[in-house]
Amino acid sequence: MALKLISVSARYPIDEAHIVLTKVSITVRDSGCLAVVGPSGSGKSTLGRIMNGLHRPSEGTVELDNLDIHSMPSIAEARRRVGLLMQQPDNQLFGMTVGEDIRFGPSQAGIDLDTCVSRMERAMLQVGLDIDSFAARSPFSLSGGERRRVALAGLLAMQPRHLVLDEPVAGLDPAGRAKIEAVIAETGRHIGVVLLTADLPLALRLADHVILLDAGHVEYDGAPAGAVADRALLSRLRLLAPVEADVLDALRQRGAPLEPLEDMRPATVLETIAAAVLAPDSRKVATKGRSH
């Protein structure tokens, strides 16, 4: 019961010689958050469109529950099961009102009106959009963060098995980011979420598994802490480590007896740094990561 990319390569007709993804294999589990982190142009958005069947890989297969999605009778069914929040969410908003927009997907899937309305209300609740204030407004009268949440609610109303989010917090203010991050954390408890981003600190806050992507190649695939261990790799990928990871490194370089942490979530790292700074005898500092 998973979404699997098996040795997927991708190119676009306009430039057949340019291989955008090279033999990428990824398994997206049924819950949790997988972050695919890479600089601009590394192939994240292409990967997202492949995961939800919008783009067909030139080689390799995309499987949902062990079935090749491109051999299914209807690709629409696969696309319903793997929701994609596009990098430009305005591309997926077209209802006259927020409520209509969120109900649109389920109604197109032949779901009865009452169920569509209850799914819409639930989805609005999930993304923190007050029904009375927002349901009757035009999506285009909203802020960027609110529009993203409307698009996200439209996807959640489809009750997908997986959700792929392409740069979901880019360009948002801190409050807008925090709301979307909370939705991602909560959604990942129930379905498999894929976060596509160039923001490594964001990935470390949310993901339980990280893939680093560069020029269409997987450069790292493993636990979040390992994704910040190789600074030369991060520098080559033009990715910024979280500042607390830099502080941890600086302390270690100056002789603080800190072992590598297994858990790189900011709260854990900051706690470890505070303990190291405040400990009367720094050798007694507990440095083990918090276990999940």
- Residue numbers at the binding site for ligand ADP (CB under 6 A): 12, 14-15, 20, 38, 40-46
Give the nearest residue (CB) to Mg ion: 45
Q: Which residue(s) pair with 35 in the sheet?
A: 195, 210
Which does residue 14 touch among ligand ADP, Mg ion, none (CB within 5 to 8 A, set by kind)? ligand ADP
- Beta carbon nearer to ligand ADP, 38 or 176: 38
Smallest separation (angstroms) from ligand ADP to the CB of 228: 19
- Residue 117 phi, psi dihedral angles, 5° rounding: -70, -40
- Beta carbon nearer to ligand ADP, 77 or 90: 90
Smallest separation (angstroms) from Mg ion to the CB of 47: 9
Question: How is residue 223 written in tokens?
Answer: 């636990």
The mark string for 81-110 relative to Mg ion (x by CB under 5 A, - otherwise) is: ------x-----------------------
Among residues 156, 163, 179, the alpha carbon closest in space to that of 103 is found at 156
Among residues 46, 56, 62, 53, the alpha carbon closest in space to that of 7 is found at 62
Which does residue 12 touch among ligand ADP, Mg ion, none (CB within 5 to 8 A, set by kind)? ligand ADP
Smallest separation (angstroms) from ligand ADP to the CB of 213: 7
Smallest separation (angstroms) from ligand ADP to the CB of 12: 3
Q: Where are the beta strands (DSSP E) in 155-286?
A: 162-166, 192-197, 209-214, 217-222
Smallest separation (angstroms) from ligand ADP to the CB of 128: 27
Query: How far is residue 99's CA from residue 78's CA, in Å, rounded to a whole number?
Result: 24
Query: How far is residue 170's CA from residue 102's CA, in Å, rounded to a whole number?
Result: 22
Query: How far is residue 161's CA from residue 176's CA, in Å, rounded to a whole number?
Result: 25
Question: Which whole-number Å values give the CA distances from 223 to 106, 152, 232, 280, in the listed order?
Answer: 36, 27, 18, 32
197 binds Mg ion (CB under 5 A): no
For residue 89, give the amino acid letter.
Answer: P
CB 73 within 8 A of CB 53: no
Smallest separation (angstroms) from ligand ADP to the CB of 13: 8
The mark string for 29-68 relative to Mg ion (x by CB under 5 A, - otherwise) is: ---------------xx-----------------------
The footprint of Mg ion on this chain (CB under 5 A) covers a number of residues equal to 3
Torsion of CA 198, 200, 204, 207, to 10 degrees: 20
- Beta carbon nearer to Mg ion, 116 or 164: 164
Residues, the chain? 292
- Beta carbon nearer to ligand ADP, 14 or 175: 14
CB 205 within 8 A of CB 181: yes
Smallest separation (angstroms) from ligand ADP to the CB of 151: 17
In the complex, which residues of this chain contact Mg ion (CB under 5 A)?
Answer: 44-45, 87
